[in-house]
Amino acid sequence: MMKDEQVVISSPKTRAGWEDGFREMAARGDDELLDAPLPSLTRWDEEEWEWRSRKSDESQ
């Protein structure tokens, strides 16, 4: 497929090889987050905040 005079080729499988890569990282102990945890703003943030999926938002 051509887009803006460039050839666009889709990946055969999205995230191919990621599972094996994550296993290797865990085996090497290289599977920890790099960012420090963010401080909670309030007790409400810590105890009451709930993420809603986009799917549930669309049904309302």
Q: How many domains does the chain have?
A: 1
Alpha helices in 1-60 (DSSP H): 18-28, 43-47, 54-58
In a domain, residue 37? The reply is yes
Query: Is residue 1 within 8 Å of residue 7, measured between CB atoms?
Result: yes
pTM over 0.75: no
- Note down the domain range covering 29: 2-46
In a domain, residue 35? The reply is yes
Question: What is the tens place of the pLDDT at every residue in 24-60?
Answer: 999 999 988 888 887 878 889 888 989 888 765 555 5
In a domain, residue 59? The reply is no
In a domain, residue 56? The reply is no
In a domain, residue 10? The reply is yes
In a domain, residue 11? The reply is yes
